[in-house]
Amino acid sequence: MIVLKSWHFLKGYMSVKVSGVHLEKYINLLSKNGISVWDIKKINPHTIEFKMLSSQKKKALNLSEKLGYNFKVLKKYGIDRIKQKAKKRKIFITGFFLCIMTIFAFSFFIWHVQIYGTQNIPNENIIESLKSYNVKEGRYKYNIDTDEIENRLLADYPKMSYCNISIKGSNFLVQVVEKNTPLKEFDKKESISLVAIEDTKIDSIIAYAGTPKVKKGDKVKKGQTLISGKVIYEKLGEKECYYVHAMGEVLAIRNRNFKNIRVNPYIIDKKDKYIKDSVYNIGKKAYSFKSKEDKKNYIPVEEDEEELKIGFIPTGITKKVTKWYNIKNKDKKTREQIENEVINYLNKSKNIDKDNIIGLYLSISHLDDNNLNVDVKVNLRENIAREKKIDKKTDKK
């Protein structure tokens, strides 16, 4: 990660805001055209911000204008001023050159694995599978057979319908499309309609390509056509047709239940004193270092597992830390704060956009370690369309 950030700084990069529809497709198109983006943030359903190399601005801007997206540069970063001062300092230039050579040497290795497009398959599971294929941080990148890795992932994950792996610099990028994902990669050569995945009632519909067959408020059956890839028009008084790859978003209100969500009910200040437990994983063995103090009036806060490194080089040793905070005299979170924490969990772990949540109903119970156990019922708007190929031979005009 440090190597990648250093490389971006040396190359010069910028933060960009893009507005438009179907932004997932836009990101995929950038990747296909060799444009690397990172730190992607969703501002609202039709606006995202991300960072990219300044050298790729022209290419990205041309692509945005061609596809009708609003492309705006927010801020630029770089080391031009440092370069000007460096011209007067030979020693500095020599040191800078050696630094560049070191970074260049490290660019022959994978330092970051990124997963895109997952909805129900946890990214952690895919990363663990990649490790079992010997694809991880520190791996020499030029002897990786990406086709073989793609085939192994598709074989190991039946819910995965598409997988594309690319290596950009020191980044190992995995683009995934799960089965029943309504809008996957666009292929204009295919004749596709969008049909309902279940019996439901339409809350909203937006057709980007194709002919809408339903409207808001309509009740539909499973398999019913929502947006047809068959477009009918009149020519010399007679009806003609042509076929397209239908694209759009058809939302319905659905109820989903999630159980056993752990929530810390206390407001913790990370500056407070704590008792620390650590677990080190070396290969298949785990070594625990736990405090012997009584933790009856304490609450555990687990931190993300991290891999220990010597400089840039991974050691293969992982460390998991649990911090225990004394709950005496601690303020408790309000119900609204607990709801916001649950929403953040659903967004991060279940890929549920908080803007699509209509109602949230919590059932709260207490656990032995002073945490809360939350069961939640969520009313939300979800895309209920899936793709279906059109058989032109049997399709009647």
- For 111-170, write each residue's pLDDT tens digit: 888 887 777 788 888 999 999 999 888 888 888 888 888 888 888 888 777 788 888 777
Q: Given this model, what pLDDT does residue 190 score?
A: 80
Distance between terminal CA atoms of the chain?
56
Are 246 and 209 in contact by the 8 Å Cβ rule? The answer is yes
- The pLDDT of 294-303, averaged and rounded, is 84
What are the residues facing 70 on neighbouring strands? Answer: 19
Query: Do 176 and 203 fall into the same domain?
Result: no
More confident residue, 179 or 281: 281
Same domain for 56 and 16? yes
**138 and 224 inside one domain:** no
Q: Is 294 exposed, middle or buried (0-12, 13-18, 19+ CB in 10 A)?
A: exposed
Same domain, 240 and 273: no
Cα separation of 248 and 176, whole Å? 19
Give domain status of residue 146, yes or no: yes
- Per cent of the chain over pLDDT 70 is 91
Between CA 1 and CA 372 the distance in angstroms is 35
Domain extent, residue 242, equals 192-251+384-389
Indicate if the pLDDT at residue 375 is higher than 60. yes
Q: Is residue 134 part of a domain?
A: yes
Q: Are residues 101 and 116 in the same domain?
A: no
Greater model confidence, 181 or 216: 216
The number of folded domains in the chain is: 4
pLDDT score, position 182:
45
Helix/strand/coil (H/E/C) assignment for every residue in the chain: CHHHHHHHHHHCEEEEEEECCCHHHHHHHHHHCCCCEEEEEEEECCEEEEEEEHHHHHHHHHHHHHHCCEEEEEEEECCHHHHHHHCCCHHHHHHHHHHHHHHHHHCCECCEEEEECCCCCCHHHHHHHHHHCCCCCCCEHHHCCHHHHHHHHHHHCCCEEEEEEEEECCEEEEEEEECCCCCCCCCCCCCEEEEECCCEEEEEEEEEECEECCCCCCEECCCCEEEECEEEEEECCEEEEEECECEEEEEEEEEEEEEEEEECCECCCCCCCEEEEEEEEECCEEEEECCCCCCCCEEEEECCCEEEEECCEEEEEEEEEEEEEECCCCCECCHHHHHHHHHHHHHHHCCCCHHHEEEEEEEEEECCCCCEEEEEEEEEEEECEEEEECCCCCCCC
Range from 234-243, 258-267, 364-373 that averages highest in pLDDT: 258-267
Span of 85-94, 158-167, 195-204, 329-338 with lowest mean pLDDT: 85-94
* 1 in the same domain as 71: yes
Q: Is residue 230 part of a domain?
A: yes
Non-local CB neighbours of 91 within 8 Å, separated by 6+ positions: none
Does residue 162 fall inside a structural domain?
A: yes
221 and 237 co-located in one domain: yes
pLDDT: which is higher, 321 or 232: 321
Across the chain, mean pLDDT equals: 83
Domain boundary among 80, 107, 134: 107
Judge if 158 and 118 occupy the same domain: yes
**How confident is the model at residue 187, as a pLDDT?**
61
Q: What are the pLDDT digits (tens) for 18-51?
A: 998 888 888 888 888 888 888 889 888 889 999 8
Please count the residues of the chain: 397
**Conformation bin of residue 159: beta by default, left when phi > 0, alpha when psi is -120 to 50:** alpha
On whether residue 343 sits in a domain, the answer given is: no
Place of tokens 């704060």: 337
In a domain, 333, yes or no: no
Q: Give mean pLDDT, residues 287-315.
A: 80
Domain membership of residue 305 (yes or no) is yes
pLDDT of residue 218 exceeding 70, the answer is yes
Are 210 and 312 found together in one domain?
A: no
**Listed residues 181, 204, 238: the one ending a domain:** 181
Selected residue with higher pLDDT from 61 and 106: 61
pLDDT band at 183 (very low <50, low <70, confident <90, very high): very low
Average pLDDT over residues 61-70: 88
Asked if residue 283 and residue 242 are part of one domain, the reply reads: no
**177 vs 298, more confident:** 298
294 has a pLDDT exceeding 90 = no
**What CATH code is carried by the domain that includes residue 101?**
3.30.70.260
Shared domain check, 282 and 246: no
- 232 and 247 both lie in a single domain: yes
pLDDT score of 50: 92
Q: Which of 181, 212, 242 delimits the end of a domain? A: 181
Give the whole-number percent of the chain exceeding pLDDT 90. Answer: 9
pLDDT grade, residue 223 (50/70/90)? very high
Q: Residue 172 is part of a domain; what is its CATH number?
A: 3.10.20.310
> What pLDDT is attached to residue 82?
64
Position 218 in a domain: yes
